[in-house]
Every structure is written in structure tokens, then in C-alpha cells.
Structure 1
């Protein structure tokens, strides 16, 4: 281990920031690089459920539990499932003391963690464009702004299309055949009362058994967001830029055709959007993504194991990956030993969850009638989260 290792985290998402936070708690210097101009430079999307056995454990390690619960919405754990005729198939309302998987907006989570990282260690406006391995085994990182830096350890926390991943693995994410249109409804209780009523405090899942769905979620500040989802080519609807003149009109027309057989009460989800449509094709890495040990390089979060959003494991694993990697760097005698310890634990945890999440996506968008599709029981999931959290804490204290 260098006396003061030069650690570069690429990506200031929740996982990368959490890694930096825990490293700094241990007195280990780190620099985080991100392409965004600032922590709030763009709309990050919808809400996240942080699980007691992964994401919440990571925040606990980082000393951020109170900060999280100050923002979290336990009532957001509520779930309603419907068919495309508007028939309610099942509902889940969490108990008042249920904190197994509270919701928090993506932007809120990123800001909350960033506020607890030394601002001098954050390099915004640094888009990684290239890497090279130097003769001494360290790595040089090149950024679009013309700067570069050398690092003893490069942590790829840069998501699905990671530019760090090629240093360790040739794998690339592949398209699942399912794409989401990300939309939102502002001041929903006043301006979109029908949508607000259907979504309630938490999530609404509607599917037709023909590969089409609406997945809507309550966010903070009166916002409801939804994913209009379908089996389709990755470039759906084949018009190029959705924000181009005429793009929104073309999208609405295509949606009216795809969802023509849906009940009229559900159609405002397709048309009454604020801020347009953003296409999000769902890509995944192999369930058991592995790579040979690479000195001075490792991956966390979606860079290592991007999977379908079903189950909500992505950000939870990214947070725990970041926390455990940081603890390994602080505890192990060499960076190589820290990388091996982190990757062993990460792969054991992520492989089964990725397989389950990717299978769930295919089942949800399959041709099974909604009434016959058995969704996981949220109450059972929550009990399992709490039991695994207790087991994790017991192992740490042993």
C-alpha cells in the first residue's frame, strides 16, 4: 500500500459518493470525478427504495442514517397492482413502523451524500474520455476538459456505460427488449388529481399481459413520475430525438396505438405529462459478471452488475459496494488485498439478485394475464430485509 494512495473514484452517483464518504471517515484521501457540472446539474429521475439489508446498512456505516430518515418517505412503500381495465388486483399498505424500504428521490439521495463529502475532493465537469496503464502499473485518466490525473486505485462508479470497466472486463450491457419512457406530472394532486389518486402514497403497477405497462411512483414535492413501458426496439419509436420538433406529437400518436385497448381512466398517464418524454432502454450485464483480478482497478454499482430495475437492487448494491470497498481499503495491508476482498463479497451478493431481477423483468413483460402474474409479497420482502440486516450486523460485530 502506498503511504498515501492516490484513489480516483469515477462517478459521483450515490455509490461513488458513499465510497468517498467512508474513505474520508477513515482518513484516506480520495478524489471523485463526475461529468456533471454540479450535484444538481440534471434531473436524475424518480424515487428509490433503500433496503434495510443493503442501502440502509451502507448509510449506517457512513454515519448517514439520521440524514436519510429526515428525507425518507416510509409511506412511499405502499403498492397497488391493477390490470389494464383498471381493476385492482392487490394493494399493500405498510405498517406505521415499517422502515424496511422507505423511498427517497434520487436527487435528494445524491445531494444528501454529497453534502457529507469534503467538497474539495469533488471534481465536477470532469468527463472521463480515456485511460492508460503506465509502466509502473498505475493508471492515467484523461478528461474531456484537457486535464489528466494518475491513480494507484481507480474505482469505476460510472454506471451502465462505464469507461473504467474496459480496464478490467470486456463485457458490455445488452438490451433486454424492454424500454421505458420516463415522464412526470408536476403538482399532481392539484393539476393531475386522477393520476394522483390512482398512485396514492407509493407505487402503481399496471400491465396488460401483452408486454405493455405503466409503473408510476409518488415522489416528493407533489410530483408523480411514471415509466411507460413496453417490449419494443431499443430506438422506439424510431423517430430519433424525442425532444425534436414533432417528436412529442409522434410519441403520443404511437402511445395511443400501443395502449389503445387500455381503460380510459389510465390514458392520462400517456398524454398529460409535464416536461416531455425521455427514452430509457433497459440494458443489463450478464447475471454473473466476473473479471480477472486487475491491480489498481475495481468496479462498483452498475459498472459492475447493472441489472433490471425490478426489485430495486441497483442503488442499494451500489451503496453497499462503495461502503465495503472503502472499509477494505482502510483495513487491508495492500490495495490488491482490498480489491480482492471487495470483489469477492460484491460478486457473491450481486449474482443471485441480478438473476432474480432480470427474470422478474421478463415475467412482468411476458404474455401472462395480470391476474395470474404473482408479484412478490411486499410484507414478506420487508421481513426478509430486516432479517438479513440483523444477520449482517451480527457478522460485523462478531
Structure 2
């Protein structure tokens, strides 16, 4: 490309910020537009694990592994599984030196990526209102605050309900039939020692085999996030006559629904600090592909929103952003870059999305005779992350087309 491309990234989550960081390492200056007022203006959610074969590769490409390690919790890889009575069914404690999937708070990851961009890269408070194809792959973007711009490449990093996706496909997310209530425990070791003991250093997952589960995750700064999950229609609270803004009303409902759970496990459901936050599981059709459209593509959840089983969503989002940035640098045209990126992204994300969505549906469908109630083999899972990472790096070394961003 003989002139610097005008690249607009719509969405300032991990995918969009990673893409911008690697592009800047290649000497290309994109602009990121995000609806949020600031990087930390809303609750970003809990913790996530960054896998050696995807998220960590992207961080290496961005020159951010040292910054990541300063925040990551290697001990957070620990996991346990209990039944509804509190009986430990399985435990995983990472071996010394195991860094296949360290944990980091979502908010910390987003802030870290943002702080390693050039000042002014992200335009906060920009909600995309309208886009117009102008021909030749150029699009005009108009924002609700009155700003507008033209771009040679629009990268949709705008999440589950991506407006940019409408330029490529009419696919929309579907509800997977599982709802959960996000609960928070602050200063957990002092104020909620029973919760701290159950969750340990990492994650604890518990299910009763009848479509109900509780997941608690250790975050940084003495915080534990808990997720009370159950099969339900989207309007479950209307049918049940529960005011979801009334914490005590929600607790009473949960005590009825989880009445078979023991007193040992009940604090995970009822003793949270603050209100319950409603969340639900949605997914795009998988595998999802689309015909190439000049001047536009998708990364992250905008491209492959999937169930959280396996924790692949953010990892794929980071890898998407890095690989698209590499392609933009290395290919002769933006069209060639997008074609190359999508050719690799479609099969990689499609298989993982199918598996994640199927696992969640089977897990919460209690009539399924082969529902995966047993915990995965986390030690083998970590070995697989490392093996795939080594294979990924080997292929990159053989293909000089892919290289780490300069100056990172």
C-alpha cells in the first residue's frame, strides 16, 4: 500500500485495542471508536484466563507479555469441582512453572491494552449511528455525537450486537436458554471467609445435575465474582413475579430454586455484596462465515460470539486483532489482508464455537444422557495449550509472511 490506510476500528474492547496496538507496532495509525465514556466507565465483568496458544501469542506480538505478567495471577489457574452439598469431586492445582492459562481481570486487561496505545487513538463516547458504503471499499461512519469519518477499512470489534456485522451478514445472536445472576463478594478473605475457603485461589464450579450451577472465581484485590446459573426463559423474572432490582426478592427466589443445596454452599448464592446483575448466554450461528465485502471485516465477538465453555471468546478476540493487523502490514492491499485473515479465522473460531455452544446446551439439558457433568482434565488441557502454541510458532517461523510487529 503506497499511502497510509485509513482504518476505523469500531469497538474498544480487547479485540479492537489489540488490533490497534499491533497496527501501531507496524507503523500504521488506526482510530478506535467506542461507545463508553472512558475505559473504565462500566463494569467489565470478572476474570478470564489467557491461553498460551491464542491470547498469549497475541500479547507477545503486541510486546505486552511483561505488562501482562505483572497483573496476571498464575495461581488463579487452580480449579475445583463440588456437588451441591459441598463435597469436592475434583481438584486441579497448576504445577510449578505452568503458565498455560493465567488469570487476569477483564478490566485490568482492557486498561493495560488502552494504556499502551498512542494518546488520542481511542475516541470515547462515539456510538455508531449510521454507515454508508461509498464505493471502492470506502465507508462513511456517522456517530450519535455528530462526528463522522471515512475509512478504507472498517473493523467491527463491536461485540455481540455489532452494527458493523450488518454490512456482512444478517446473522444475529440467539439465546441459549441459560441465565445467570452475577454476584460480587468484596474483601472476601475478611468479610466472607466461608466463600474464600470454597473458591480457593482460582475457580470453583458446582452443579446439582438438574440444570443449576454456581461458579465462583477469584479476582484481584480481594474480590470474588459468583455466577448463579440456571435454565430459564429470558423473562423468567416476570413469570416468577420477581423484581430483579430488589436484592431480597431475588434471594428469596434463589433459595426456593436452590432449596436442595446445602448450608455450606448457600452463602455463594445469598451472601453477595450489592445487587445481582442479570446476564444471559447468547451465541451466533456456528460456524459463521460470510462473503467477502471490500473495506470491512469483523473480529472478536462480533465475528464469533459463543458460549463461555472453554473460555475461548477473549482469547480468540485477541488473536483476531493481532493477525488482522499483521495481514494489513504484510499484504499488498487491504482486500488481500482481509481475505487472508478471514480464511484463517473462519475455521479456527467455527470449530471452537460449535464445541462451546454444544457443551453448554448439553450441560444444562438435564434430559441428555451424555451431559458432560464430569470436569475436564485441566492438566491435559494445559498441555494441549502449550503444544498448540509451539506448533503455531513453528508454522509462523516457516512462513516469513507472519512476523511480530516492529517496535513492540
TM range (shorter): over 0.9
1:118–1:391 Cα change, 3 Å: same
Stretch of structure 1 that moved more, 133-142 or 112-121: 133-142
Residue in 1 aligned with 2:298?
299
Residue in 2 aligned with 1:344?
343
CA distance in 2, matches of 1:27, 1:253: 56
Give 1:351-370 correspondences, 5 Å limit: 351-367=350-366
User: Does the Cα contact within 8 Å between 2:157 and 2:298 map onto a contact in 1?
Assistant: yes
CA distance in 1, matches of 2:197, 2:332: 56
- Aligned-pair distance for 1:43? 1.3
CA distance in 2, matches of 1:371, 1:397: 41
Residue in 1 aligned with 2:405?
none
- Aligned-pair distance for 1:2? 6.3
Give 1:74-113 correspondences, 5 Å limit: 74-113=74-113
Stretch of structure 1 that moved more, 275-284 or 14-23: 275-284
CA distance in 2, matches of 1:52, 1:185: 29
- 2:367 aligned with 1:389, yes or no? no
- Aligned-pair distance for 1:319? 0.1
CA distance in 2, matches of 1:222, 1:236: 32
User: Does the Cα contact within 8 Å between 1:208 and 1:369 map onto a contact in 2?
Assistant: no
RMSD, aligned α-carbons: 1.6
CA distance in 2, matches of 1:369, 1:169: 36
User: Does the Cα contact within 8 Å between 2:359 and 2:372 map onto a contact in 1?
Assistant: no
Stretch of structure 1 that moved more, 133-142 or 97-106: 133-142
- Aligned-pair distance for 1:151? 0.9
CA distance in 2, matches of 1:242, 1:262: 22
- Aligned-pair distance for 1:390? 0.4
Q: Give structure 2 stretches of 5+ with no counterpart.
A: 399-408
Residue in 2 aligned with 1:65?
65
Count of matched residue pairs:
395
SS of 1:362's equivalent in the other structure is helix
1:359–1:372 Cα change, 3 Å: closer
- Aligned-pair distance for 1:241? 7.0
- Aligned-pair distance for 1:277? 1.0
Residue in 2 aligned with 1:118?
118
Stretch of structure 1 that moved more, 24-33 or 363-372: 363-372
- Aligned-pair distance for 1:281? 1.1
Residue in 1 aligned with 2:326?
327
Residue in 2 aligned with 1:312?
311
CA distance in 1, matches of 2:53, 2:242: 41
SS of 2:275's equivalent in the other structure is coil
User: Does the Cα contact within 8 Å between 1:32 and 1:121 map onto a contact in 2?
Assistant: yes
SS of 2:182's equivalent in the other structure is strand
- Aligned-pair distance for 1:316? 0.1
SS of 1:229's equivalent in the other structure is strand
User: Does the Cα contact within 8 Å between 1:83 and 1:370 map onto a contact in 2?
Assistant: no
1:372–1:291 Cα change, 3 Å: closer
- Aligned-pair distance for 1:240? 8.4
User: Does the Cα contact within 8 Å between 1:207 and 1:370 map onto a contact in 2?
Assistant: no
**TM-score, reference length from structure 1:** 0.96
Stretch of structure 1 that moved more, 158-167 or 2-11: 2-11
For residues 9-62 of structure 1, what are the alpha-carbon distances to aligned partners after superposition, in whole Å with 9 as ceiling and x for unaligned?
A: 011111100000000000111000111111111111100100000000000011
1:370–1:279 Cα change, 3 Å: farther
1:133–1:286 Cα change, 3 Å: same
